[in-house]
Amino acid sequence: YAMLLSLIFLIVLVAAVVGFVFRHEIKTNFESNLNLALENYNVTADRHSEAVDTIQRMLHCCGVQNYSDWERTEYFSQKGIPRSCCKSQNDCLEKDLKDPNKAKMKVFVDGCFFLVTSTMESKMSIVAGIAFGIACFQLIGIILACCLSRYITNNQYEMV
């Protein structure tokens, strides 16, 4: 049991170190994937498009760096900026979303990349604290399992 807990502890420790060391690459990959999702955005039930819509609605943002990122997409030439960028769903008309100057007043202007990364970084201390707490419990479990094993082994020899 102590060996299994030690193995799990090492896996969590390695995952934390790798996440910390490669955090900049994670940001770069996220940004490139978000750009790719914008380029391939459509209104069908595509999971990447749904993810973009969800991020834009939940974080009140639009595009990667700002709302004008949509102007470089094929979707913009057809339908304008997506409705998930709208500040108010009732006040967003398709003709306004096709005109970047009018859309600026009706959509969120901040980009999603900065908001997502800043949200992740602000929550990182909470995640680190929870991980540290779990690691402490695992270490206590490892120590107690080793003590129990030694106690059982010592008593077994005395009984014989």
Which tens digits make up the pLDDT trace of 19-28? 777 878 888 8
pLDDT in tens, 78-136: 888 888 899 888 888 888 888 888 888 889 989 999 988 888 888 877 877 888 888 88
- Number of neighbours of residue 151 by Cβ within 10 angstroms: 10
4-26 mean pLDDT: 84
Residue 155 pLDDT greater than 80, yes or no: no
**Which residues face 66 on adjacent strands?**
110
- pLDDT score recorded for residue 7: 92
Total residue length of the chain = 160
DSSP classification of residue 22: T
- pLDDT score recorded for residue 43: 55
Instruction: Return the SS3 of 154.
Output: helix
Which DSSP string corresponds to 56-98? HHHHT--SSSBGGGGGGSHHHHHH-S-GGGBS-GGG--HHHHH
pTM reported for the whole predicted model: 0.66
DSSP classification of residue 44: S
Domains annotated for the chain, with CATH where assigned, are 1-158 (1.10.1450.10)
Nearest in space to 43 (alpha carbons), one of 52, 56, 33, 35: 52
